[in-house]
Amino acid sequence: MKFNFKNTFLLLLIFSIGFFVGGYYFRGEEILQPQAVNFSRLYEAWNQIESKFYNYSSKMRQDMLYGAIDGLVKSLKDPYSDFLTPKETSDFEENLTGKYEGIGAEIGIRDETITVITPLKDSPAEKVGLLNGDKILEIGGKTTEEMDLTEAIMLIRGKAGTQVKLKIKRGTKILDVSIKRARIEIPTLDFKVLDNGIGYIQLYNFYEESPSQFKKTVQEIFKKGVKKIILDLRNNPGGYLSAATEIGNFFIKDGKVIVKEDLGDGKIQEIKSEGPGAFSDFKIVILINGGSASASEILAGAINEQNKNTVLIGEKTFGKGTVQEFISLSDKSSLKLTIARWLLPSGKSIDGSGISPDINVKMTESDIQKGRDPQLARAIKQLK
């Protein structure tokens, strides 16, 4: 029976991860066949663990399998590629619906350090004063050095009403922050018409509801005769590329490139606007800052390059310009793999470099504490 289990395990392992090590890697309908990998060392190591590890139990087999896949992904040395267990997969999918339990902060990797991308509106993270760019040195007393992003997210999340302690580095200051977790419901979009007839749209993310909410806003814009728009993408951590391109269709004329994907090996795929380009002749100001990441950077950069009446105001964006694909495995675990880099229509990569505004306006801690918004004020002045 033991021998049969091992053969079954190895077959499962080969079929589960062979696409990435020694089997086939699919891109569209193309099939690549890299050189076969010799799995004999895996057999050998598995046998040694089962026969010699002093505390071995057959109950460990599932954890060993997950550990093998996790190690495989970690060997890629990519901060945004992860293996997620079924529980982690469920939590990740819940986050993309806009509801989960935690502190309400999007985090990423910057300079090989776990970093706050943005605290979400009205979240516990925002209320205690976390800022984009804060470096997270410890979570619950555990150092984040060499910690991967998924582990950090799982440690920060937890049951509403419980506390999590973070050690933060902000510039040269070290801060200890205790945050009470809550049920987080991420807002999607706010819209209003300012006194001077400027339409103000604040997009908080590019999750499932974003395109449908935006389309309702489009109707309001035309009903109220708006011809100038402020699109606020500050502290927007991104989300689905498809959501960003659907919204981009309204700002960029039909047939023009919204984003390019660098698939490697010199292969570039273009995603073009499908129209209607309803706002392509509007005067537009886009607000950005260090919390604008991923899909929000792509949308801001694309509109700026493809619409001559657009001005970027604020601060340099986060610089997260890689594409991840979410791949479900048969036991409800999953892989999150980097499959490409995003490029602006001009071919410029934003990964690591971000997008610089046309007009740089800094928001200080004092501005935040006193409720001032010099960036929005500059945007309104630009459109008068």
Q: Which two tokens stand for residue 372?
A: 């001032």
315 is catalytic: no
Report which residue type is found at 271: I
Angstrom distance (rounded) from CA 275 to CA 373 = 33
Chain length of the chain: 384
Taken in order 343, 345, 347, 353, is the CA torsion positive or negative?
A: negative
C-beta atoms surrounding 17 within 10 Å: 19
Contact 374, 367 (CB under 8 A): yes
Environment class of 136 (CB within 10 Å of its CB; exposed 0-12, middle 13-18, buried 19+): buried
121 is catalytic: no
- Cα 141 to Cα 176, 181, 279: the distances in Å are 10, 17, 49
Q: Which of 140, 142, 150, 132 is nearest to 177 (CA)?
A: 140
Angstrom distance (rounded) from CA 82 to CA 73 = 6
C-beta atoms surrounding 114 within 10 Å: 26
Contact 239, 294 (CB under 8 A): yes
Kindly name the residue from 81, 123, 210, 294 that is annotated as catalytic. 294
Kindly name the residue from 228, 272, 320, 336 that is annotated as catalytic. 320
57 is catalytic: no
Contact 288, 249 (CB under 8 A): no
Kindly name the residue from 151, 185, 261, 305 that is annotated as catalytic. 305
Q: Which two tokens stand for residue 140?
A: 């619950």
Angstrom distance (rounded) from CA 301 to CA 350 = 9
Angstrom distance (rounded) from CA 327 to CA 25 = 13
Angstrom distance (rounded) from CA 67 to CA 355 = 37
User: Which residue in the block uniquely carries the two structure tokens 């506390």?
Assistant: 163
- Cα 228 to Cα 119, 198, 223, 234: the distances in Å are 28, 5, 14, 18
b/e per residue, 154-171, with b = 16+ CB within 10 A?
bbbbeeeeeebebbbbee
Environment class of 260 (CB within 10 Å of its CB; exposed 0-12, middle 13-18, buried 19+): buried
Q: Which residues are identified as catalytic?
A: 294, 305, 320
